[in-house]
Amino acid sequence: MTHFLTTSYSVFVGRLLLACGIVFLATGPFLLDASGMQVMTEFMLMLVLALMWNLLAGYADIVTIGQHAFVGVGAYAFFGFLVFGEWNPYLSVLMAGAVAMLLAVPVMVIIFRLRTAYLAVGSWVVAETLMLCAGKLSAFGGGSGISMPVSAVKQFGARIGERYAHIYWLALVLLAVVFISTWLLMRSAVGLGLTAMRDNEDGAGAVGVNLTRSRVLCFLWTAPFLGLAGALITLQKLRVAPPASFSITEWTVYIIFIVLIGGVGSFEGPVIGGIVFFLLREYLAEVGVWHFIVLGPISIVIILIEPRGLWGLLRRFVPGDLIPVSYTPSALKGTKTEKARSLAASTSDVLSQS
């Protein structure tokens, strides 16, 4: 009885924390100063990237090391439409997503011919190629990049504080759209199919789930969101340059750490990982490159001990998902059924006593 109460209590607390987080995000610009808003904007954009990498690696079985390609392409597209095309600023942001999605088609044709680790490195080759190509665009300053003209920047707010708030709202909207739509996707037939695939590839094939189609859909799904994030990142950084806009470290390596630490294959994982990562970054910033050396072994140890990350660890004590998706991480299945059984047992105890 008490067991039953405490375990559902933990789900309740978890959801409460989640709700507090949402409220905090939704009121951020009223609470935070300029630098606080910048950090939170960065957090939200990183979370978008993490959710997308997680969708591919955790559900669709596509591990890429090239997701920075779409971020960079989005950045360059946004810059092009806004500065050279002099398009409406919002339309320019949207176009970043559109261009990224268009580009996803040929990229997919290339890398879907590879599987597993070959796909991972193949996606990296593609990203590297696109970055080098971006470096050949002389209008965009070639290899050294180009800053956004002041007039273009001012379209998003004349004063700094106003502009930061503006970018913050855009990032929040993007995060909300990504989060909710991806969650809905995972609860749809596509998500169910991918879940079945992760649990048992043959089984999924047998119930008629078209795995290739689902994987293609997921890949195309992530590209526009990555492109949109790239546009907003550019608004924050106020310049495009091949190594910065296509930064493998920031838009892929960090993201992989976030998802890995938090827990791949769940919605809670990237959120937890993002928070942990930003906390670690704040506290480990002064130790320079060594914070990578801390992150590296941590992630290797996580894979060896608890492949489902921090959320996997927590999930041993929490009986349900905070953000329920049909998908149950297969590593946790044993514990889950045991929990269910003990739950059932405790309930029947209560019944027989009464």
Partner 1 sequence: MVEIWTNQILQGVLLGGLYALFAIGLSLSVGVMRFVNIAHGDLIVMISFVLLSLTGGLGLPTLAAVAIVIPISFVGGYLLQRLLLQRVLGKDVLSIILVTFGLSIVIQNALQGVYGADIRKVGGGAIETATIPLSGNINVGVLPLVIFISATLLIWLLDLLLYRSRIGARIRAVSDSVATADLVGLRSARIYAIAMAIVGATMAISAGFMAIWTNFDPTSGPSRLLIAFEAVVLGGLGNLWGTLIGGIIIGVAQAVGAQFDAAWQVLAGHIVFLAIFLTRPQGLFPKY
Asked if residue 291 lies in contact with residue 299, where contact means CB atoms within 8 angstroms, the answer is: no
C-alpha 298/C-alpha 259 separation (Å) is: 13
Buried b (16+ CB within 10 A) or exposed e, 129-142: ebbeebbebeebbe
Q: Tell me: does residue 292 bind partner 1 (CB under 8 A).
A: yes
CB of 38 to partner 1, least distance (A): 25
Residue 128 in contact with partner 1, rule: CB under 8 A: yes
What are phi and psi for residue 200, nearest 5 degrees? -165, 105
Cβ(258)–Cβ(270) below 8 Å: yes
| Region from 184-192, 217-225, 252-260, 278-286 binding partner 1, contact rule CB under 8 A | 252-260
CB of 123 to partner 1, least distance (A): 11
Q: Is 288 in the site for partner 1 (CB under 8 A)?
A: yes
Task: Return the residue of 17, 132, 206, 344 that touches partner 1, per CB under 8 A.
Answer: 132
Q: What is the DSSP string of 2-66?
A: HHHHHHHHHHHHHHHHHHHHHHHHHHHHHH--HHHHHHHHHHHHHHHHHHHHHIIIIIS----S-
Give the residue with the Cβ less far from partner 1, 147 or 299: 299
Residue 189, classed as helix, strand or coil, is: helix
Dihedral (Cα; 184, 189, 193, 199), 10-degree rounding = 60
**Which residues have a Cβ under 8 Å from the Cβ of 346 and sit 6 or more positions away?**
1, 3, 4
Exactly one of 207, 293, 340, 350 binds partner 1 (CB under 8 A); which one? 293
In 3D, which of 261, 300, 299, 302 has the Cα closest to residue 279? 261
Identified binder of partner 1 from the candidate list 290, 326, 337, 348, rule CB under 8 A: 290
**Binding status of residue 135 toward partner 1 by CB under 8 A:** yes
Answer yes or no whether residue 53 interacts with partner 1 by CB under 8 A.
no
Rule CB under 8 A: say whether 307 interacts with partner 1.
yes
CB nearer to partner 1: pick between 114 and 217? 114
| Residue 333 touching partner 1 (CB under 8 A) | no
CA–CA dist 140, 342 (Å, integer): 62
Q: Does 121 bind partner 1 (CB under 8 A)?
A: yes
> Does 141 contact partner 1 by CB under 8 A?
no
By CB under 8 A, which span of 85-93, 168-176, 205-213, 289-297 interacts with partner 1? 289-297
- Interacting residue ranges for partner 1, rule: CB under 8 A: 57, 61, 63, 65, 109-110, 113-114, 116-118, 120-122, 124-126, 128-129, 132-133, 135-136, 143, 248, 253, 256, 260, 264, 288-290, 292-293, 295-297, 299-300, 303-304, 307
